[in-house]
Amino acid sequence: MFYRNLNLTYLRIKHLVQPKIICRQLSVRSIKYQNYSNTHCKKIHVTGDYLFHNTNTTSTGRFLSWKWLLAISFLYAGYDSQNIFDIINQGSAEELTKFLKDNPKAVNKIHLFGWAPIHVAASNNKYEHLAVLLKSGADPDLSDGFSNCIYVARKRNINPSDVLSTRETHFMHNFNANATFQGFTAFHYAALLNNIESLKILMDHGADPHLKSVTGHKPIDLVTDLTIYELLADYEKNFELIKNKKEAEIRKKFPLELRLKQKIIGQENAINVVSSAIRRKENGWTDDEHPLVFLFLGSSGIGKTELAKQIASYLHKNNKDGFIRLDMSEYQEKHEVAKMIGSPPGYIGYDDGGYLTKQLAKNPNAVVLFDEVEKAHTDILTILLQLFDEGRITDGKGKTIECKNAIFVMTSNLASNEIADHALELRNEQRQNKLIEDRRLTDKKIEKHEEVVTFISKKFKDQIVKPILKKHFRRDEFLGRINEVVYFLPFSEMELKTIVQRELQYWQELALKKHNIKIEWDSAVEHVIIGAYDVNYGARSIKHEVERSVVAQLAKAHENGLIKNNTVVKIEADTTKGDHGNIFLKI
């Protein structure tokens, strides 16, 4: 069986590598040598297992043309000073570790022509580099977007020979430039090269063996070594089991709450409520018949949509079908039901189908966000109630989609003023209590600095929020189907400070990367920006203020030539006129 596969594999991979000089399967060390030593290269150019081909371009001529090739790759990789692809090819694993420490985002950087660092490492049998990349957070399942030189050159409006040179520089193996490697993962490259070290490292990092290239090949289809074939077959068989076990371990070590807290500032209570409901569902501690339904309440710009997005990215990683968003202000009229689930036969738009049903059909386990649900027409609410109650939805064509494992999140600004006022009152109360407590601790010489989480009281929920919701939705059964009503509170001083700092850091990184300008600021600047916080716009008001008072000034000074590249700009604030002081640049 395997030998029949082997023959097929040989035919399949024959077109992937260049049919010039045939050499014996290369050991990792000989490949490293191949790049530098022409004599050694000749030694390995003996006919043998017919597994690999090598062009005679590994000659001194090609070696000499390195400088040109490097220049081209610098140009196209989008790095100004150092290029991660060249470090993988020519540098040591230690050098790569150091580079990634300074440039952590480069680890999953996609080259302009489609490939990622992990592909370069795997295709060059650089398993130590591969290990460094994976440890630094490289996604083992990234697929190579490179199709072929001609197509890429046309798409990028570049000379095909430049594309070819770059590809050949980065992919030292003489893969056939005319074959397509599109959709190859690092696992495919390691399998094609029968490199057991790389394969083991990839398996340890949970690489998916089921992913197919655009030509429909899984990594195992490219293997030509019996032992490796058996290893991969075993891995394929147990992959789901291994994956679930690993994920459970990771979740234990790094629970959902912690992940969400890295992205969402404050909203601790909301994060805890949502995380524990999701965990209960994952661990089988909820009824399987109903999907999870949340209602997120709170004023504008405080993280309701952001939290829904983060849940989707936690559950569905990079799968864009894992997050479905419907703006319910577009579903205010009765006839707009059709836009959601499709029209019945004989009606206009029958063939188009509905947005929600089409998206749910693609991923029935998606996180579905119904933004501003209070604006939806009552007929739409009836459909939502059925969806939440039965965990299924039927489209205009009569096709039913089962979605009991989907997560539905509705957001609403209903009662947001009441919630904000109540939260502010609670915070003031807490601040007073904390001051008394701090004074008591200081007297006892005990240090304790932590933010107090504000909880909305049950009495407030029952007596203020519930009546507002009931009055609006008018149906007890609709409210009864919501698993958790989640409260989002206005930001505290500390949280605002963190938001301002993150926003300024974002622009700091951008200025450094794009213009090589270093930005520095002090706490007075943060204080002035916090002063512009508007509870009605939430974090958006901070983002606008940073853009208005800092970024606009920087951009203007840069355009007018007042700030040169490679300079340090100090942002300062004049607070002599109170909190709403002026922000200015010191160049």
Spatial distance between the Cα atoms of 341 and 380, rounded to a whole number of angstroms: 10
Spatial distance between the Cα atoms of 532 and 535, rounded to a whole number of angstroms: 10
x/- contact string, 189-218, with ligand ATP (CB under 6 A)? ------------------------------
- Shortest Cβ distance from residue 411 to ligand ATP (Å)? 6
55 binds, among ligand ATP, Mg ion, none (CB under 5 to 8 A by kind): none
Place of tokens 């300079």: 567
Per the structure block, which two tokens stand in for 183? 């959709």
267 binds, among Mg ion, ligand ATP, none (CB under 5 to 8 A by kind): ligand ATP
Size of the site for ligand ATP (CB under 6 A): 16
- Shortest Cβ distance from residue 470 to ligand ATP (Å)? 21
Query: Which single residue brings its beta carbon nearest to Mg ion?
Result: 305
Question: What angle, 0 to 180 degrees and rounded to 10, lies between the N-to-C axes of helices 304-316 and 268-282?
Answer: 30
- Shortest Cβ distance from residue 307 to ligand ATP (Å)? 7
Classify residue 107 by its DSSP letter: G
Residue 128: CB partners within 8 Å, gap ≥ 6? 93
Size of the site for Mg ion (CB under 5 A): 2
Helices (H), 213-303: 226-253, 256-263, 268-282
Residue from 89, 198, 267, 357 binding ligand ATP (CB under 6 A): 267
- Shortest Cβ distance from residue 528 to ligand ATP (Å)? 20
C-alpha distances in Å from residue 20, one per residue of 29, 34, 193, 244: 22, 16, 17, 45
- 257/389 with CB nearer ligand ATP: 257
- Shortest Cβ distance from residue 205 to ligand ATP (Å)? 29
Residue from 219, 291, 303, 354 binding ligand ATP (CB under 6 A): 303
| CA neighbor of 425 nearest in space, from 489, 367, 472 | 489
On whether the CB atoms of residues 494 and 428 are closer than 8 A, the answer is no
On whether the CB atoms of residues 521 and 507 are closer than 8 A, the answer is no
382 binds, among Mg ion, ligand ATP, none (CB under 5 to 8 A by kind): none
Residue from 540, 548, 556, 564 binding ligand ATP (CB under 6 A): 540
x/- contact string, 384-423, with ligand ATP (CB under 6 A)? ---------------------------x-x----------
501 binds Mg ion (CB under 5 A): no
The interface region with ligand ATP, picked from 31-39, 402-410, 536-544, 554-562 by CB under 6 A, is 536-544
Place of tokens 């109170």: 578
274 binds, among Mg ion, ligand ATP, none (CB under 5 to 8 A by kind): none
**DSSP one-letter string for 474-521:** --HHHHHT-SEEEE--PPPHHHHHHHHHHHHHHHHHHHHHHH--EEEE
Residue from 117, 266, 342, 364 binding ligand ATP (CB under 6 A): 266
Strands (DSSP E) contained in 285-350 are 292-297, 323-327
- 127/487 with CB nearer Mg ion: 487
Residue 29: CB partners within 8 Å, gap ≥ 6? none
- Shortest Cβ distance from residue 472 to ligand ATP (Å)? 16
- Shortest Cβ distance from residue 189 to ligand ATP (Å)? 36
82-111: contacts with ligand ATP (CB under 6 A): none
Residue from 53, 126, 281, 304 binding ligand ATP (CB under 6 A): 304
Q: Please give the single-letter amino acid code of residue 91.
A: G
259 binds ligand ATP (CB under 6 A): no
Please state, as a whole number, how many other Cβ atoms lie within 10 Å of the Cβ of residue 101: 9
On whether the CB atoms of residues 301 and 491 are closer than 8 A, the answer is no
264 binds ligand ATP (CB under 6 A): yes
490 binds ligand ATP (CB under 6 A): no
Residue from 87, 369, 538, 554 binding ligand ATP (CB under 6 A): 538
| HSE of 262, CA atoms in CB hemisphere, 13 A | 8
| HSE of 469, CA atoms in CB hemisphere, 13 A | 25
The interface region with Mg ion, picked from 63-71, 203-211, 281-289, 298-306 by CB under 5 A, is 298-306
On whether the CB atoms of residues 88 and 65 are closer than 8 A, the answer is no
* Residue-wise burial string across 274-284, b where 16 or more C-beta atoms lie within 10 A, e elsewhere: bbebbeebeee
Per the structure block, which two tokens stand in for 117? 């660092």
The interface region with ligand ATP, picked from 108-116, 131-139, 173-181, 264-272 by CB under 6 A, is 264-272
The interface region with Mg ion, picked from 305-313, 330-338, 510-518, 549-557 by CB under 5 A, is 305-313
413 binds Mg ion (CB under 5 A): no
Residues that bind Mg ion (CB under 5 A): 304-305
Interface residue list for ligand ATP (CB under 6 A)? 264-267, 300-306, 411, 413, 538-540
